[in-house]
Amino acid sequence: MPLLSPLTGSDRLELEQLIPVEKIVKLYQVKYQINVSAFFTGVNQVRVFRCQDTGYRFYYPFTISGDHSTFQAQWPQLTQQTDKQNWEQEESRKFVAPTDNVLEINAINSSFLSDLTGRGVRAHGLIANDRVATSIALHHPNLSFGREAIGPHAEQLPNHYDVVCAFQVLAQMAPVKDLIRPAVNALRKGGRLLLSVPNNCGFLGKATEDVLNLPPHTMGLWDEHALRAVAWVFPELYVEKIVVQPLQPQHYKYYYQTYVGVVNDGLIGKLFSQLTFPLVKPLINARAGRIRGRSVLAVYTKK
């Protein structure tokens, strides 16, 4: 059976890269002291394919996928970095009206639901991982959420929500249609779908050793172009806006090190970036608003 694009179902794919599994396992061990070798049983190389119709890139085989809820429950240090970066949530608030009925998929970081609920907005979250759901119920008893995935929830409540959102979830899934299709079905006509993902159109796409952008944590390499293609795959949607995160101060050094590494990797490159970063930091700061950061938010409207 031929390999098909998880986004389009087409076999129009191009093999772009082969990554040794031992390299990935070592990166997780060095960065987070985590052994992820069990995810790669029987796999020696991870392949990166590109969908020729949409530009969406993904890791293969799909069996190496983890999920965000599992990482949150077992290895919270993997999600601390992304959970503290709530840029996409702040941007998403601009697209939520006070009278909206909002659904957040995989709402393991309760800050967005808490903020909306505190402002009187009807907001409901979905958390498939029972351990995480129990923890949130204990610490946030005022929040409304269900212990289920978006698929069965959308079947029970079709055309129900004004806003459906998923923050940094889609990139961690191999079967991306399993999130997008029911999310669209759960929206009423004129409702908004908000999807945020890591933006591989910027410096992140050149950071080949970024652990959080590798499997099993991440399975899809999204960028602005692939996000626009979602509306082509799901014709009920049109792209209202693509919002790109500007480079954040906490990423200045990583941004600089990434581009230095492209030219001169290894010990020399690392030493050079350490010595010269204080000199270039003011220049990066001056241009940060025009530099693509780690994340991108796509806003779709259902026709």
Domain with CATH 3.40.50.150 in the chain: 13-249+288-302
pLDDT for the residue 273: 77
The pLDDT score that the predictor gives to residue 77 is 58
The average pLDDT across 70-75 equals 60
> 240 phi and psi, to 5 degrees?
-80, -45
Supply the angle between the helices 267-287 and 252-263 in degrees, to the nearest 10: 130
Average the pLDDT over 89-118 and give the result: 92
Q: What is the pLDDT of residue 83?
A: 44
Q: What are phi and psi of 18, to 5 degrees?
A: -120, 130
The whole-number average pLDDT for the span 291-299 is: 95
The residue-averaged pLDDT of 169-179 equals 94
Distance CA 298, CA 176 (A): 15
Query: Which of 294, 82, 86 is CA-nearest to residue 207?
Result: 294
Mean pLDDT value across the chain: 89
The confidence score (pLDDT) of residue 259 equals 80
In this structure, the number of other CB atoms found within 10 A of the CB of residue 43 comes to: 15
What confidence tier does 33 reach under pLDDT thresholds 50, 70, 90?
Answer: confident
The DSSP secondary structure of 212-275, one letter per residue, reads: GGSTTT--EE--HHHHHHHHHHSTTEEEEEEEEEEPPGGGHHHHHHHHHHHHS-SHHHHHHHHH
Cα distance between residue 140 and residue 120, in whole Å = 16
CB 229 within 8 A of CB 55: yes
Measure CA 171 to chain center.
4
Residue 272 CB contacts under 8 Å (≥ 6 apart), including other chains = 260, 264
Query: What Å distances lie between residue 170 and 23, 105, 261, CA to CA?
Result: 24, 10, 28
Q: Per mean pLDDT, which of 1-5, 17-21, 274-278 is the most reliable? A: 17-21
**% of the chain beyond a pLDDT of 70:** 91
**Contact in structure between 217 and 211 (CB atoms under 8 Å):** yes
pLDDT band, very low/low/confident/very high, at 13 (cuts 50, 70, 90): very high
Residue 40 has pLDDT above 70, yes or no: yes
* Residue 132 in this model has a pLDDT that exceeds 80: no
Q: Span 159-175, mean pLDDT?
A: 95
β-pairing, 45-51 with 13-20? Answer: antiparallel
What's the full length of the chain, in residues? 303
The residue-averaged pLDDT of 162-174 equals: 95
What is the Cα–Cα distance from 222 to 287, expressed in whole angstroms? 24
Nearest to 165 by CA among 297, 7, 6: 297
In this structure, what token pair is assigned to residue 186?
């759960």
* Amino acid at position 212, single letter: L
Dihedral of alpha carbons 224, 232, 48, 63, sign: positive
What number is the average pLDDT over the span 251-267?
77
Cα dihedral sign, 64-30-85-265: negative
Residue 134 pLDDT: 76
pTM: 0.91
Q: Is the pLDDT of residue 25 over 60?
A: yes
For the segment 156-183, the average pLDDT, to the nearest whole number, is 96
| Residue scoring higher pLDDT (65 or 95) | 95
Does residue 84 have a pLDDT over 50?
no
Cα separations (Å) of 223 from 82, 145, 196, 199, 236?
A: 17, 30, 10, 5, 21
pLDDT of residue 143: 84
Write the pLDDT tens digit of every residue in 185-240: 999 999 999 999 999 998 998 888 898 899 999 999 999 999 999 999 999 999 99
**According to the model, what pLDDT value does residue 265 have?**
64
- Class for the domain spanning 13-249+288-302: alpha beta
Name which of 18-27, 65-74, 115-124, 158-167 the model is least confident about.
65-74
